[in-house]
Amino acid sequence: MLDTAYNVETPEGIDLRAQAAGPVPRILAYAVDVFYRSLILAALGIALAFADRAGVGIWLLCSFLLEWFYPVFFEVVRGGQTPGKKAFGLMVVNDNLTPISWSASLLRNLLRFADFLPFGYAAGTIAMTLNRDFRRLGDLAAGTLVVYRQQNSSERSLPQAAPLAPPRGLLMQDQLAIISLAERHRDLSEARQRELAELLQPVTGKSGRDGLHYLHAVGNWLLGGK
């Protein structure tokens, strides 16, 4: 299946699911991080300009730390998100979807250099396109991956329609289709919903607004509305 879903079975027998993040949002997130890092270095450079040679030493030290450990710090301390990743709703996790550990984060960020070779993250991008979960070399070695952080979904809302019992002999998949139509009544435009309801006109015997209303009502009933 051509899909970015990533499933893990926990010891409790539950399938956890996450969406692996592809190269484009990750490159953008990286660009944001580079921007922040340069900003910090520039600010430090100005602040330390008065400290002369000692200042240069401290600046070099800081630039070393920022170059190699900036992502490590944020990934471990801030729940897998550097500021750039946070901006794009990404997070790094171990491949069993647990929070990333120090050693894994260190490894994946040390190997960033190999991903960068020969220029502009070419090796990393090629590696990402060659495996299912968009892992660069560092991710492969450290056993990590970058996934989308899921947004907390808003409360469910159901269409305003008094529940109506469905006709007999409705198959499971038909029920599911009707339920999901009711569930998505906010996300789909009115016209599109009516168009979908129209397809069932031979079955429901109703068309236009009535047909849609009827399907909403059945959906409510199937969800347990009384």
Partner 1 sequence: MKQQDFEQRYGESWQRLEQWLRTGDTDSDRPAPDLPVAYRSLCQQLAVAKERQYTNQLIERLNQLVMAAHHRVYRQQTLRRNTWVRYLLAGFPRAVREQIRYVWLAAALFVLPALVMGIGSYHNDALIYAVMSPEQVLQFESMYDPGNDVMGRERGSDSDLQMFGFYIKNNIGIAFRTFAAGILFGLGSIFFLVFNGVYLGAVFGHITRVGFTTTFYPFVIGHGAFELTAIVLAGAAGLRLGQSLIDPGGHRRPAALRLASIEAMKIVYGTFLMLVVAAFLEAFWSSSTELGVGVRVAVGSIFWLLVFAYFALAGRGGNPEGEARHGS
Catalog residues that contact partner 1 under the rule CB under 8 A. Answer: 10, 12-14, 16-18, 52-54, 56-61, 63-64, 67-68, 96-99, 101-103, 106-107, 110-114, 117, 123, 137, 140-143, 150, 152-153, 156, 172, 176, 179-180, 183, 222-225
Closest CB to partner 1 among residues 106, 146: 106
The helix (run of H) or strand (run of E) holding residue 180 is helix 172-183
Instruction: Provide, rounded to whole angstroms, the least separation between the CB of residue 196 and partner 1.
Output: 17
Whether the CB-CB separation of 121 and 34 falls below 8 Å is answered with no
CA distance 59 to 54: 9
Token pair listed for 183: 């569930």
Exposure letters 165-182 (e unless 16+ CB within 10 A, then b): ebeeeeeeebeeebbebb
Closest CB to partner 1 among residues 179, 215: 179
Question: 3-class DSSP state for residue 185?
Answer: coil
Instruction: Provide, rounded to whole angstroms, the least separation between the CB of residue 115 and partner 1.
Output: 8
Instruction: Provide, rounded to whole angstroms, the least separation between the CB of residue 205 and partner 1.
Output: 26
φ/ψ of 18, rounded to 5, equals -140, 165
Find the helix packing angle between 190-199 and 208-222, rounded to 10°.
80
Closest CB to partner 1 among residues 18, 21: 18
Whether the CB-CB separation of 195 and 212 falls below 8 Å is answered with no
CA distance 151 to 157: 17
Instruction: Provide, rounded to whole angstroms, the least separation between the CB of residue 40 and partner 1.
Output: 15
| Secondary structure letter of residue 188 according to DSSP | S
Closest CB to partner 1 among residues 215, 222: 222
The CA–CA distances, whole Å, from 90 to 69, 85, 146 equal 19, 5, 7
Instruction: Provide, rounded to whole angstroms, the least separation between the CB of residue 56 and partner 1.
Output: 5
Closest CB to partner 1 among residues 23, 99: 99
Instruction: Provide, rounded to whole angstroms, the least separation between the CB of residue 207 and partner 1.
Output: 26
Instruction: Provide, rounded to whole angstroms, the least separation between the CB of residue 110 and partner 1.
Output: 5
Token pair listed for 215: 């399907």
Closest CB to partner 1 among residues 16, 31: 16
Closest CB to partner 1 among residues 24, 54: 54
